Structure formats: C-alpha cells, structure tokens
Amino acid sequence: MDKFIGLKELRENMEKYVKRVKKGEDLIVMRRSTPLFKISSVEDSEENWEEVIDFTKVKKGGVDIKDILSRI
C-alpha cells in the first residue's frame, strides 16, 4: 500500500521514513500536490537489478573509483 508524504516532511523526518521503507512500505513523495518520486525497499525490487561487473572479482577489496574514471 502506497503512502503519500510531502517532500518537506520527508526532509525533516528522514530517519522515520527510512525505517518504514525498511519494513517494506512504499512511499510516494509529493510537492504541491504533484507526485515527485516513489521510494521502495531494494529488497522489493531486486529482480530489477542487474549485475554489470563485480569489481571484487577484478581485485580483492574492489577497485578504486579514481582508477576506473581515469580509464574512461
């Protein structure tokens, strides 16, 4: 079930809404009666995530972002 909250309310009470999302609740953030975005738990949408590359397989502990950006 989606819950509607104002953008200002979200900014002022972020931790409260983080806890609600962690529990599986979806939130629709509004500004001036217009929906801006939806917040939902990553666990709920894992099927939408695709692993492109696991940098821990390239180098133990991962790869420094500066090294990656310097090669682009």
Residue 52 to residues 3, 49, 68, Cα–Cα distance (Å)? 32, 9, 14
Instruction: Supply 56's token pair.
Output: 């821990």
Q: How many structural domains are present in the chain?
A: 1
| 4 band by pLDDT with thresholds 50, 70 and 90 | very high
Q: Is residue 12 part of a domain?
A: yes
Q: What is the mean pLDDT of residues 4-33?
A: 93
Buried/exposed 15-33: b ≥16 CB within 10 Å, e otherwise: eebeebbeeebebebbeee
Residues of the domain holding 25: 1-45
Q: What is the mean pLDDT of residues 36-45?
A: 81
d(CA 19, CA 21): 5
